[in-house]
Amino acid sequence: MAIIFHEGSKEFHIYNEEISYIIKILDNNQLGNLYYGKKVHDRDSFSYLLEGKLRSLAAYIFEDNYELSLQYTKQEYPSYGSTDFRYPAFEIKQENGSKITNFEFKSHKIFKGKRKLEGLPATYVEDDNEAETLEITLYDSLIHTELVLSYTIYKELPVIARNVKFIHKGKSTIILNRAMSVSVDFPDSKFEMIHLAGAWGRERHVKIRKLEQGTQAIYSMAGASSSEHNPFIALKRTNVDEFNGEVYGFSLVYSGNHLEQIEVSTHDMTRVIIGIHPDTFEWPLSEGEVFQTPEVVMVYSNCGMNKMSQTYHELYRTRLVRGQWRDKVRPILINNWEATEMEFTEKKVLKIAKAGKDLGMELFVLDDGWFGNRDNDKCGLGDWYVKNFKKLPDGITGLANKVEGMGMKFGLWFEPEMVNKDSDLYKAHNDWIIATPGRRSSPSRNQYVLDFSRNEVVDYIYSLMEKILSEAKISYIKWDMNRYITECYSSAENAEFQGKVFHKYILGVYNLYERLISKFPYILFESCSSGGGRFDPGMLYYAPQTWTSDNSDAVERLKIQYGTSYVYPIACMGAHVTSVPNQQVGRVTPIETRANVAYFGAFGYELDLSLLPEQEKAKVKEQVEYYKDHRELISKGVFYRISSPFEENITTWIVVSKDKREAIAAYYNVLNSANEAFRRFKLVGLDDNKRYIINGDGNRIYHGDELMNIGIIIDEKEFCAKGMDFSSVLYNLTQID
Ligand code: DGJ
């Protein structure tokens, strides 16, 4: 790994064993990009890659020299209107109304390691030798503003993490109308765009689009990263599959409004810009003020989609997730939500916990409905203390003690950012919600969003949570967020502040998380937003796992978990076995298949176990034991997608331990059909030269190369619910050499 500055050619070459990224200080002192892709040898100059010629209608930077026009120059952090008419990476409105800027190279710094981003989530290093960082400072001498572009390359991974800082030193205030985290210009447009789109209950479905001249974008302006569009896109070459071909991934480490835009220019170049959504953002900077963008993690793969995903998995699991839970296997939980919703008593939930304990589960989670006067979704949010002692006679402390007394850990649900009008909090502070004066405040799930852009609001919620967490033995928190932000306005502030509210809000959420995880480092946090509405890298920095979707149907989950795995480690995906008929889609699937899908995640149960027939209880007990035996492999192994639920009736995937000694391959057959063809399941990721035993059966020992090139012969007798829909089978492979 190295970052080299070639003084003569004024070029930076950022590279490791897998990737190269080359930046040039152009003749006008702005920054151009010469190359991003598979590693190439270093040389003193790559300036032969500069392309320029006289083109009709193009405007040029210099007189009498028709070479440099930004219209077709690949740039690092482009602005609009000074020969380039494409969408820019940033826009600064100045005192005289102009938006034209000229940021020129001023200095650079190369150092080992990686800086923290103040108040924002970001990937990190544990040892400075793991990564190297280049910071390039640009300066606009008319407005006296500096731009610091930061690039960190990891030694062992094909990753460059980028962010941008604006430092304003001028006397007059400037307004940032757009401050994207990255812009990358590619020399051609022979790509397809991949993104993860959806809705509540069908989050992160894989979508693929062709690129055409013009722009296409995904985004959220909902105040959360959203179920609709995950803050991630990839550009892939058209021949790419899971195992072959060139892919560029871009993942924004942020949980608020975002924009991922791709523009193909008239000369078939592709520009990617990613960052905070500019349409809901306006950030004034006075003298001495700084604005820091979130980070974008760029991953390059020349071995298809799996390699890109595995890179994200490794980085996010080990250098984004933090704290005591990062390297620990996660407890198997039993959550009461689908069993009782808000209608429970202490007796009822203790019965569920006890049934879970008897079957080997380790953590009981009390979901929504325990606080204030919360018996339905019209009331109680904001009052994070027990008021209804009929429901919980000994409060949370008493219940937690009883659960602990059973030998289980206790977890609790919160929705810290929200308030109901029917609550003590709203009665005392009805001006604490996000609402525009004189306009309707639109309810959603009968609740309103607290103005987390205000410190006193965050402080108050912290004080309530801190109290209960200090008093009761709480080992886990499920942090929910069940509505988006409408009529965005902070009534505590003046007009100039209003363009800051969405971003300040999410900084407030991060601040509350940071304070809680610092004070209670042993608590395992799981983030949630009506299921997977805020499943993003920003959240993973604070909460090591996220509830993947409220849709827990095993068949639907194949798509949701498959899509989620494009970016996110399976260890971070909350996945529960629930009752049938499934509450979201009404489907009846075998309990084995429900577990066979949920195993590939942070595993748990969410149903009234006491209602299960004895035969199923016995199966659950076996499942719990199975997960305990295999969770180390599942959560830390290398995950490969093999066949896609978006393309086929059969979904397959495999997780292989890093040393290739163990693996679990999963085969899910959604719909059955008559008189089916013979099938073989080709595995991946094993050691060609070692023999593996399948499911401990001495008659089934094969070399890795057989399993990967010939495949396992599928025997329908092995399926759970054979001859029926929604059947599945797991193959446990153990090396015997
Ligand atoms: C939405 C979550 O996704 C569910 O799991 C549950 O916690 C409910 N909220 C509770 O209101």
Per-residue pLDDT of 43-77, as tens digits, reads: 999 999 998 888 889 999 999 888 899 999 999 99
Structure tokens at 145: 């503003």
Alpha carbon of 350 to those of 342, 475, 710: distances in Å?
A: 15, 17, 51
Please work out whether the CB of residue 531 comes within 6 Å of at least one atom of ligand 1.
yes
Please work out whether the CB of residue 606 comes within 6 Å of at least one atom of ligand 1.
no
Please work out whether the CB of residue 530 comes within 6 Å of at least one atom of ligand 1.
yes
- What band does 423 get if pLDDT is binned at 50, 70 and 90? very high
What are the start-end ranges of the E strands in 79-227? 90-93, 104-112, 131-140, 145-154, 159-168, 174-186, 191-197, 205-210, 214-220
Please work out whether the CB of residue 367 comes within 6 Å of at least one atom of ligand 1.
yes
* Neighbouring residues of 7: CB distance < 8 A, sequence distance ≥ 6: none
Task: Using DSSP, state whether 579 is helix, strand or coil.
Answer: coil
Average pLDDT (393-411) is 98
Pocket test for ligand 1, best of 200, 335, 365, 367 (most atoms within 8 A of CB): 367
Of all protein residues, the one whose alpha carbon is nearest to atom 10 of ligand 1 is 368
pLDDT for the residue 64: 84
- What band does 716 get if pLDDT is binned at 50, 70 and 90? confident
d(CA 506, CA 511): 8
Q: Average pLDDT over the chain, rounded to whole?
A: 97
Please work out whether the CB of residue 203 comes within 6 Å of at least one atom of ligand 1.
no
What DSSP character marks residue 372? Answer: B
Q: How many CB atoms lie within 10 A of CB 8?
A: 8
Pocket test for ligand 1, best of 377, 482, 557, 582 (most atoms within 8 A of CB): 482
In CATH, 86-319 is 2.70.98.60: yes
- The mean-pLDDT minimum among 167-171, 513-517, 576-580, 675-679 falls in 675-679
Calculate how far, in angstroms, residue 575's C-alpha sits from the geometric centre of ligand 1.
14
Calculate how far, in angstroms, residue 538's C-alpha sits from the geometric centre of ligand 1.
20
Asked whether 451 and 491 are in contact (CB, 8 A), the reply is yes
First to last CA, the chain: 35
Is pLDDT at 349 greater than 90 in this prediction?
A: yes
Please work out whether the CB of residue 670 comes within 6 Å of at least one atom of ligand 1.
no
Asked whether 160 and 150 are in contact (CB, 8 A), the reply is no
Query: Residue 231: left if φ>0, alpha if ψ -120 to 50, beta else—which one?
Result: beta
Domain boundary assignment for the chain: 86-319, 650-736
Calculate how far, in angstroms, residue 636's C-alpha sits from the geometric centre of ligand 1.
28
- What band does 535 get if pLDDT is binned at 50, 70 and 90? very high
Calculate how far, in angstroms, residue 341's C-alpha sits from the geometric centre of ligand 1.
9
Structure tokens at 464: 């309530």
- What band does 129 get if pLDDT is binned at 50, 70 and 90? very high
* Neighbouring residues of 354: CB distance < 8 A, sequence distance ≥ 6: 406
CATH of 650-736 among 3.40.630.30, 2.60.40.1180, 3.30.300.30, 3.40.47.10? 2.60.40.1180
Please work out whether the CB of residue 547 comes within 6 Å of at least one atom of ligand 1.
yes
Is pLDDT at 381 greater than 90 in this prediction?
A: yes
Specify the ligand 1 atom closest to the Cα of 413: 7
Query: Residue 539: left if φ>0, alpha if ψ -120 to 50, beta else—which one?
Result: alpha
Specify the ligand 1 atom closest to the Cα of 531: 3
What DSSP character marks residue 62? Answer: B
d(CA 535, CA 522): 22
Closest CA to 583 of 607, 600, 616: 607
Is pLDDT at 605 greater than 90 in this prediction?
A: yes
Q: In the beta sheet, which residues pair with residue 161? A: 152, 297
What DSSP character marks residue 116? Answer: P
d(CA 451, CA 197): 28
Better-scored residue on pLDDT, 610 or 254: 254
The kind and range of the H/E element at 703 are strand 701-703
Please work out whether the CB of residue 482 comes within 6 Å of at least one atom of ligand 1.
yes
Catalytic residues: 480, 550
What are the start-end ranges of the E strands in 555-609? 573-578, 602-606
